[in-house]
Amino acid sequence: MTTPSNAATASVRAVPETATDATRGTRPLYWSLRRELWENRWLYAAPIAFAALVLLGFLIGAITQPHRVPAMLAFQPARSSNILAEYDLAASMGVMVAALLVGVFYCIEALQGERRDRSILFWKSLPVSDATTILSKAIIPMVVLPALTCALIAATQLLMLLVGSAVLLLTGADAGPVWAAFPFQLWPLLLYFFVGLTLWHAPLYGWLLLVSAWARRAAFLWATLPLLAISVVERLAFNTSHVAGFLMYRWMGFFGEAFAVTAPAHQSVERLPRLTPGHFLTTPGLWLGLAFTAACLFAAVRLRRHRDPI
N-terminal to C-terminal alpha carbon distance within the chain: 58
76-79 contacts, C-beta under 8 A, 24 or more apart: 77/183, 77/186, 77/272, 78/270, 78/272, 79/270
Q: Which of 248, 218, 214 is nearest to 231 (CA)?
A: 248
Interatomic CA distance for residues 289 and 198, integer angstroms:
11
> Average pLDDT, whole number, for the chain?
77
Distance from C-alpha of 149 to C-alpha of 140, rounded to nearest angstrom: 12
| Residue 135: other Cβ atoms inside 10 A | 17
Q: Domain limits of the chain?
A: 28-306
Interacting residues of 293 by C-beta distance below 8 A, sequence separation 6+: 202, 203, 205, 206
> Could you read off the pLDDT of 162-193 as tens digits, one per residue?
776 776 666 665 556 666 656 666 778 888 88
Q: Are 125 and 194 in contact (CB under 8 A)?
A: no
| CB-based contact 290:202 (threshold 8 Å) | yes
Q: At residue 11, does pLDDT exceed 50?
A: no
How much of the chain is helix, strand and coil, in % rounded to 5?
80, 5, 20
Q: Residue 168's pLDDT is what?
A: 64
In single-letter form, the type of residue at position 71 comes to A
pLDDT tens-digit readout, 247-303? 888 888 888 888 876 654 444 434 556 788 888 899 999 999 999 999 999 999 999
Give which of 161, 158, 153, 144 is closest to 83, Cα–Cα: 153
CB 167 within 8 A of CB 64: no
56 band by pLDDT with thresholds 50, 70 and 90: confident
Q: What is the largest distance, in Å, between two alpha-carbon atoms of the chain?
A: 93
The dihedral sign for the CA sequence 73, 77, 83, 88 = negative
The pLDDT assigned to 170 comes to 65
SS3 274: strand
- pLDDT tens for each residue of 130-159: 899 999 999 999 999 999 988 888 888 788
| Runs of H (alpha helix) within the chain | 4-26, 28-39, 42-64, 69-73, 83-86, 90-116, 120-124, 130-139, 145-170, 176-181, 187-214, 219-238, 242-252, 254-258, 277-281, 284-306
Which of 104, 134, 120 has its CA nearest to residue 29?
134
Q: How confident is the model at residue 98 (pLDDT cuts 50, 70, 90)?
A: confident
Residue 261's DSSP bridge partners are 273
Instruction: Report the distance separating Cα 19 and Cα 35, nearest Å.
Output: 22
User: What is the C-alpha R_g of the chain?
Assistant: 25
CA 51, CA 59: separation in Å to the nearest integer?
12
